[in-house]
Amino acid sequence: MKNNSSTRTRRIVMTAAVLAGAAAATLGLATPANAATTACGGLTCTVYLDRGETAALAQGRVPNLNLGAFTLPYKALAYGHVVIAKGWAARGNCVAFQVSLLPWATQGMAGWRC
User: Where are the chain's structural domains?
Assistant: 2-112
* 102: pLDDT strictly greater than 50: yes
**In what order do the strands lie in the sheet containing 37-41?**
37-41, 44-48, 94-100, 108-112
Mean pLDDT confidence for 38-59: 90
Mean pLDDT confidence for 37-60: 89
Q: Phi and psi at residue 76, in whole multiples of 5°? A: -60, -45
Mean pLDDT of the residues in the chain: 79
At residue 28, the pLDDT reads 44
At residue 88, the pLDDT reads 92
